[in-house]
Amino acid sequence: MKNFQGETLSWDLTDGVLEVTLHRPPCNEIGLHTLGDLERLAEAISALPDEIAAVVFSSAIEAGFSAGADLGQLYREMQGLDKPARLAGVREFLERIHRALNAIDAAGVVTIAAVHGICFGGGFELALVCDLIVADRTARFSFPELRLGLVPGFGGVPRLKRDVGNATVRDLLFTGRSINATKALEAGLVSQVVGEGQALRVARQTAQQARKFDRETVRAAKRFVKPVPYAELRQEIELFCELFARPAVEESLRKFVEGAGVLPYLP
Amino acid sequence: MRRTQFFGYNVTTPMPSRSLDEITAEILDLAARQFRVPRAELSAGDDFFKKLGIDSLQALDLLTRLEQHFHIELPDYELQGVSDFRTLAERIQARVE
């Protein structure tokens, strides 16, 4: 499928570059609908191996790339379910999102995330799936999950460990703070920092550069330099489910969703 | 630090340290421009969330611009309990060289 207009994201294939645009208000929160669209995207990428050389992800939402998991939907889905059913539901969601993101991570194409504004939690995890991150000056990256008594569940920790030093991983996880694009560049997380509003343009240029090279060579090089940490990703799912079972998590979710935290985006 | 040229060589020299009042004024100028609020309506003791009419998302945007302006890194958890411009200026002054 070379073109797709979904509820949460759309894509268009032109000259070997698949441009994926996230467009779910308020800030591309990742819930069941986004999961479905990501699964379709993973299928489309694998179905067109000779036609796609690069994939560029960007957001049409002014506030940023993505605010992360749709915690509101998660909380609502939990209501009325007993504990085993809740855990089963969360596990199923995680298994599905991991399959989709793992497929994109391992795809034999160059993937580029063009990030502006907030790139938090699950949104940060989506960006980390990509080979390159181009960030504009407004970009901020964060893993706030510990605030809810959880860890990142979409593969963020193994992928972040793949890209940056463990001290940076600990800083982000244990403080829940956000870092700006300059700090992310210094940490080796981001490959380019560009002017406000320029991330997509630069990502497109980068994709045009990347598509010049022999596809088989790119695939071989990618397998060599960017292995997918399958074992650790599996461990992350188990750890997330173990933590999610704790009563404190539901209370934290309730407070977040009901706005008891007045400043939800500050740690 | 300030970068200048000395007989063709690039050198860095310490910036003169800014007073708290100077830093506060720069924050007010930047906030007024970014959120299109008349500068004359802002003062150091104002609650910036209420005065600027911003939420936490916009506060992060302000933080990013302040970090760029002052060439500092200011962890956002330092904003806990900070709601007025003057206290924000104190946090920033502590990190400015």
CATH number of the domain enclosing B66: 1.10.1200.10
pTM for the complete prediction? 0.92
Both tokens of A200, joined, read: 């997509």
The answer to whether A111 faces chain B, any CB pair under 8 Å, is no
Show the domain range for B73: 17-93
Could you tell me if residue B2 is inside a domain? Answer: no
The answer to whether A46 faces chain B, any CB pair under 8 Å, is no
Flag if B73 and A180 touch (Cβ within 8 Å).
Answer: yes
Using a CB-CB cut-off of 8 Å, the residues of chain B touching A137 are 64, 68
From the candidates B62, B64, B79, B95, which should be mutated to test the interface with A, based on the most A CB atoms within 10 A?
B64
Could you tell me if residue A263 is inside a domain? Answer: no
The answer to whether A197 faces chain B, any CB pair under 8 Å, is no
Which of B60, B77, B80 comes nearest A118 by C-beta? Answer: B60
Q: What is the pLDDT of residue A190?
A: 98
Could you tell me if residue B68 is inside a domain? Answer: yes
Flag if B59 and A118 touch (Cβ within 8 Å).
Answer: no
Minimum CA–CA partner of A142 in chain B: B76
Q: How far apart are CA B94 and CA A30, in angstroms?
A: 38
From the candidates A146, A147, A175, A180, which should be mutated to test the interface with B, based on the most B CB atoms within 10 A?
A180
User: Alpha-carbon torsion A98, A100, A106, A112, what sign?
Assistant: negative
Total domains in the fold of chain B: 1
CATH code of the domain containing A75 = 3.90.226.10
Minimum CA–CA partner of A183 in chain B: B73
Beta-ladder partners of A118: A64, A140
Continuous segment of H or E residues that includes residue B46? none
Flag if B64 and A118 touch (Cβ within 8 Å).
Answer: no
Beta-ladder partners of B84: B47
User: Alpha-carbon torsion A189, A134, A69, A91, what sign?
Assistant: negative
CA distance A152 to chain B (A): 19
What digits encode the pLDDT tens for the residues A212-238? 999 999 999 999 999 999 999 999 999
Minimum CA–CA partner of B65 in chain A: A138
Could you tell me if residue A139 is inside a domain? Answer: yes
Could you tell me if residue A16 is inside a domain? Answer: yes
Using a CB-CB cut-off of 8 Å, the residues of chain B touching A264 are 56
Could you tell me if residue B8 is inside a domain? Answer: no
Show the domain range for A85: 3-257
The answer to whether A96 faces chain B, any CB pair under 8 Å, is no
The answer to whether A265 faces chain B, any CB pair under 8 Å, is yes
Could you tell me if residue B75 is inside a domain? Answer: yes
The answer to whether A263 faces chain B, any CB pair under 8 Å, is yes
Minimum CA–CA partner of A63 in chain B: B57
**ipTM attached to this prediction:** 0.83
Could you tell me if residue A150 is inside a domain? Answer: yes
Could you tell me if residue B10 is inside a domain? Answer: no
Could you tell me if residue A265 is inside a domain? Answer: no
Q: What is the pLDDT of residue A78?
A: 86
The answer to whether B10 faces chain A, any CB pair under 8 Å, is no
Distances (CA, A) of A57 to A123, A264, B93: 11, 25, 38
What is the mean pLDDT for each group of 10 consecutive residues in chain A (267 residues)?
95 96 96 97 95 97 96 89 93 97 97 98 98 97 93 97 96 96 97 97 97 94 96 98 92 81 64
Total domains in the fold of chain A: 1
Residues of chain B with pLDDT below 70 are 1-16, 97
A48-52 contacts at long range (C-beta below 8 A, 24 or more positions apart): A48/A2, A48/A13, A48/A18, A49/A108, A49/A215, A50/A215, A51/A2, A51/A13, A51/A16, A52/A13, A52/A16, A52/A17, A52/A18, A52/A109
Q: What is the pLDDT of residue B41?
A: 95
Could you tell me if residue B70 is inside a domain? Answer: yes
